[in-house]
Chain A
Amino acid sequence: MPKMTMVQALNLALRQEMEQDDRVVVLGEDVGRDGGVFRVTDGLIDRFGEDRVLDTPLAESAIAGMSIGMAVHGLRPVCEIQFSGFSYLNFHQIECHASRLRWRSRGRFTVPMVLRTPYGGGVRALEHHSESREAFYAHMPGLKMVIPSGPRNARALLVSAIRDPDPVIFFEPKAVYRAFREEVPEKEETLPIGRSELVREGRHVTLITYGAMVRPTLEAAAQLSEKDGIEAEVIDLLTLAPLDDTLFTASARKTGRVVVVHEAPRSYGPGAEIVARLVEKAFYHLEAPVRRPTGYDLIFPLFSREQAYLPNAARIARAVKETLAVEA
């Protein structure tokens, strides 16, 4: 099996879906001749031509709006917004149209589009080039909100997103784009949207995370096991909406202690929803308050402070120890 980066795996997903379904089109800023600012769409224009790989003006609202029109009329657009921080410009199109055309037309129209966009920090870019605002999309009824964590699940989830009959927001952790390689089968592979995954078994504490934070969380789990004999269970959510709370609730019932990790600001962030579900559905099993090591309630800092802002293995391990120190 070939080893690929997330960028290559996403490219594979796009290429194969475009090969097997000529309704699939790609559009966005610099996705054609330039192959995308992060090279995710590299080579697609040479293979599929300008009719199926469209370079657009710098107009996020038009990119999203055009994709909605294409989707309603039978195509399967996959549009790219260059950085998720630019996607506020297309919010209205996604919120007022993409997410609710099916509902508004009583099911007569569906919007089978994917909006791909890189999110998150770790690449020394400031502010809206680094922030994580998945909570906005997760709070919008009618959308699916997917965040892969590695090359293999990114490829499989993107294929599922393209085949989904409804709009899917696909956040790609740019810190993971070229961070490591994984074996990715050439043969088609999909993963169901709306299902989380157990990525490490443990019995003392449950760590819930997604996207770029999966790696530092696993790192923390490995350190805790090696140095302190603490066995942490790690759950990768993969989808924020619809949120699969079955797995993490079951895990919390087993371990009684939970830590939620994300790089988005803490207040009103995705972690709050997870804790709220836990205290509703697993309350009598919880033995300690749920800690949330997350990004701070600050605008994403300039690069010199970036590493202090992002949760890392040490901060996650500290939160785990605080949680375990609470007497049941």
Chain B
Amino acid sequence: MPTKTYLQAINEALRQEMERDPDVFIMGEDVGPFGGCFGVTKGLYEQFGEKRVKDTPITESAIIGAATGAAAAGLRPVCEIMFVDFIGVALDQLFNQAAKMRYMFGGKAKIPMVLRTPQGAGIGAAAQHSQSLEAWFAHVPGLKVAMPATPYDAKGLLITAIRDDNPVVFLEHKLLYGLEGDVPDEPYTVPFGKAQVHREGTDVTIVATAKMLHTSLEAADVLAKDGMSAEVIDPRTLVPFDTDTIVESVKKTHGLVVVHEAVKHAGFGAEIAAQVAELAFDYLDGPIVRVAAPFTPVPFSPPLEQAYIPGVDDVVTAVKKIRA
């Protein structure tokens, strides 16, 4: 299978879906001739022209508002918000319009739009360019939320998102853009609501998304050297959420650690812990531990930023804590 980066996989998904369906178009800040702030939309403007790859003014609210309108009128927009941190200025369009229109019109309006946006820390971009805000989107009924961790999932989940008739928030981790992996050349889909077990194990279940999946897999290697066998699961989408795979895993391992890069307080790890504590209560033989960022903005100082992002040691320590 050909090897591609996470960024190339996303670019290929966009290109192939635009070739397949003339209703698919792209809009966002600098997505045109410039190819996107991170280069995700590179080459699409040249191939599809300015009618289907639209550079917008710097106004997130208008981007999402226009995408919602275009989707309601029958197109399939894929809009880019340059950093998830800028979404604050557009939340009304997303939460009160895009997420609700299908419901408000009794199913007569469909909003087949995708909002792509990079999140995550680790490039010294400080408090307004480094956050992980998935918990907000996941708490809004009417939105689907995808968080790919691998190049394969990035392409397959994005194609699923574009073909979905509902608004999808597609969260890319900016530190994964350069990650390489096997990605088929032909188009394919990865279903929403289906977690992937990346490593099987018997002693503890670790649930992690995006970049934290890789941190957790490294931690599992370290734990293996200490004779502990960790099962590592990536839910891939937060809405819909594959509770069953995680609950089944916990029934086998009897322990759960949830790892995410967003701040711990009121983060999505809380929902997973709550669901598992409800559905697999009798199988747990110790507390559920969450490894996540502290409740502060993302620091600019590189040493502080590294201390802020959960690392391999943090995951290992958490597992050892519940297995002590």
Contact = CB atoms under 8 A, between A and B. Distances in A.
Interface of A: 61, 85-86, 88-89, 91-96, 99-100, 103-104, 127-128, 133, 135-136, 138-139, 141-142, 240-241, 243, 264-265, 267-273, 275-276, 278-281, 283-284, 286, 288-292, 297-299, 326
21 contacts: A86-B92, A88-B94, A89-B91, A96-B128, A103-B297, A127-B104, A133-B139, A136-B136, A136-B139, A139-B265, A141-B297, A265-B139, A267-B241, A269-B139, A270-B266, A275-B270, A276-B270, A276-B274, A279-B277, A283-B288, A299-B103
B100 A127 contact: yes
B109 interface: no
A89 to B, nearest CB: 5
A267 B273 CA distance: 11
A265 B268 CA distance: 14
B279 interface: yes
A267 B140 CA distance: 9
Given A94-B88, A138-B266, A276-B288, 5 more contacts: A88-B91, A135-B136, A267-B241, A279-B287, A326-B281
Interface in B291-322: 295-297
A139 B297 CA distance: 11
Given A96-B88, A243-B265, A267-B139, A88 B274 contact: no
B139 A268 contact: yes
Interface of B: 85-86, 88-89, 91-92, 94-96, 99-100, 103-104, 127-128, 135-136, 138-139, 141-142, 238-239, 241, 262-263, 265-271, 273-274, 277-279, 281, 284, 286-290, 295-297
Contacts of A89: 91-92
A88 B286 CA distance: 39
B284 A283 contact: yes
Given A139-B263, A139-B265, A268-B138, A275 B297 contact: no
Q: Which 8 pairs from chain A and chain B are nearest by CB?
A: A92-B88, A275-B274, A88-B91, A276-B273, A283-B287, A272-B270, A276-B270, A268-B139
A271 B135 contact: no
A302 B269 CA distance: 31
A212 B15 CA distance: 50
Nearest to A137: B266
Nearest to B267: A139
A276 B260 CA distance: 14
Contacts of A279: 273-274, 277, 284, 287-288
Given A96-B85, A275-B273, A280 B289 contact: yes
Contact of B96 (A88, A241, A289): A88
B295 A85 contact: no
Contacts of A127: 96, 100, 104
B296 A103 contact: yes
A264 B88 CA distance: 20
A288 B281 CA distance: 7
A299 B288 contact: no
Contacts of A61: 89
Contacts of B241: 267
Contacts of B103: 298-299
B262 to A, nearest CB: 8
A85 B96 contact: yes
A267 B288 contact: no
A60 to B, nearest CB: 8
Nearest to A275: B274
A100 B297 contact: yes
A280 B273 contact: yes
Contact of A290 (B91, B100, B267, B277): B277
A18 B139 CA distance: 37
Given A103-B127, A280-B290, A95 B88 contact: yes
Which of A93, A278, A291 has the most B CB atoms < 10 Å from its CB? Answer: A278
B135 A128 contact: no
B295 A128 contact: no
Nearest to B131: A95
Contacts of A281: 287
A147 to B, nearest CB: 14
Contacts of A273: 265-267, 270
Which of A89, A241, A272, A297 has the most B CB atoms < 10 Å from its CB? Answer: A272
A141 B296 contact: yes
Contact of B290 (A104, A276, A284): A276
A299 B100 contact: yes
Contacts of A284: 287
A240 B296 CA distance: 16
Contacts of A292: 274, 278
B270 A289 contact: no
Contacts of B238: 268
Contact of B135 (A92, A95, A135, A298): A135
Contact of A268 (B91, B271, B279): B271
B91 A91 contact: yes
